Amino acid sequence: MKIIMLGAPGAGKGTQAKMIADKYSLPHVSTGDIFRANLKEGTELGKKAKEYMDKGALVPDELTVEILLDRVAKDDCKNGYVLDGFPRTIPQAEVLDSELKKLGDAVDLAIDVEVPDENIVRRMSGRRACLKCGATYHVEYIPPKKEGICDDCGEPLVQRDDDKEETVKKRLSVYHEQTQPLIDYYTKKGILKTVDGTKDMKDVFADITAVIDAV
Ligand code: ADP
Ligand code: ADP
Ligand code: ZN
């Protein structure tokens, strides 16, 4: 199954995508994680992406699409995947569709995790991430067992550079302008499902599994 996670930055896409990946044994493909891994390793791609990420802007479609298509061409994606943070623009969605079509394939489901803007800044300012395994926590809502340390791998948790309030506001406006139109795009294709992302993490996941199991 090929699933796309939609929603504002901080809506909980990554958190839910990980849980979906575990339950349904699908790879979790996050373009943001790929860019951050490259940033950490100091690759050319990482350097290019950083210019945009730091400003809260989107990395250009051309670059992003290439990375994503490379990733989903890997063997582990043969039976499907959960895309988290891609597509973020209509052109990205169109390329994905046309590439899948060539293979006689298509996206099965787009899940919109809906959270109002008012809740987002609070979520983002409390977000802490493990750069080693990609796990995400929240200081207040989803704290790690030991403060500042990843439950899974014991690495120190960090606050992302782009989770500062000003950058978050910029990312939200970019979301409304460039990414929200995808909700219409997938509605027209008849594959969009919306879940209430303000609920507790486990309740959001229960709603999501109900949607997936109905496909
Ligand atoms: P969040 O999980 O908060 O929505 P991500 O980790 O998905 O953030 O993305 C972080 C940043 O990486 C984005 O602000 C953007 O600069 C870049 N990025 C990630 N995915 C894409 C994409 N599909 N298209 C363009 N830029 C992207
Ligand atoms: P996204 O990938 O959409 O940017 P994340 O999954 O990283 O969002 O979640 C953003 C922040 O909100 C993280 O700190 C995460 O731990 C927290 N979070 C995720 N889901 C919930 C929820 N249902 N209720 C409260 N906080 C949540
Ligand atoms: Zn970790």
Residues 84-96: pLDDT tens digits?
Answer: 999 999 999 999 9
pLDDT by residue (tens digit) across 1-51? Answer: 999 999 999 999 999 999 999 999 999 999 999 999 999 899 999 999 999
Q: What is the pLDDT of residue 206?
A: 98
Q: What is the pLDDT of residue 3?
A: 98
pLDDT by residue (tens digit) across 62-86? Answer: 999 999 999 999 999 999 999 999 9
The full DSSP string for 97-142 is HHHHHHTT----EEEEEE--HHHHHHHHHTEEE-TTT--EEETTTB
46: which strand partners? none
Whether the CB-CB separation of 76 and 82 falls below 8 Å is answered with no
36 is catalytic: no
Q: What is the pLDDT of residue 132?
A: 86
**Would you place residue 131 in the very low, low, confident or very high pLDDT band (cuts 50, 70, 90)?**
confident
Ligand nearest to the CA of residue 134, numbered in listed order? 3
Contacts of 14 (CB under 8 A, 6+ apart): 5, 30, 32, 33, 84, 85, 134, 136
**Any alpha helices (H) in the chain, and if so which ranges?**
13-24, 31-41, 44-55, 61-72, 90-102, 117-125, 165-174, 181-188, 201-213
Q: What is the mean pLDDT of residues 144-166?
A: 94
Q: What is the pLDDT of residue 134?
A: 87
- The pLDDT of residue 133 is above 90: no
If you measure from the C-alpha of residue 105 to the centroid of ligand 3, how many angstroms do you get, rounded to a whole number?
34
pLDDT by residue (tens digit) across 168-215? Answer: 999 999 999 999 999 999 999 999 999 999 999 999 999 999 999 999
> What is the number of the ligand 2 atom nearest to the C-alpha of 84?
2
Q: Which of 13, 36, 128, 193 is catalytic?
A: 13
What is the identity of the amino acid at 34? I
Q: What is the mean pLDDT of residues 122-145?
A: 93
11 lines ligand 1 (CB under 6 A): no
- The pLDDT of residue 107 is above 90: yes
Domain 2-115+179-213 adopts which CATH fold? Rossmann fold (3.40.50)
> What is the number of the ligand 1 atom nearest to the C-alpha of 85?
7
Ligand nearest to the CA of residue 90, numbered in listed order? 1
Q: What is the pLDDT of residue 65?
A: 97
How many C-beta atoms surround the C-beta of residue 135 within 10 A? 20
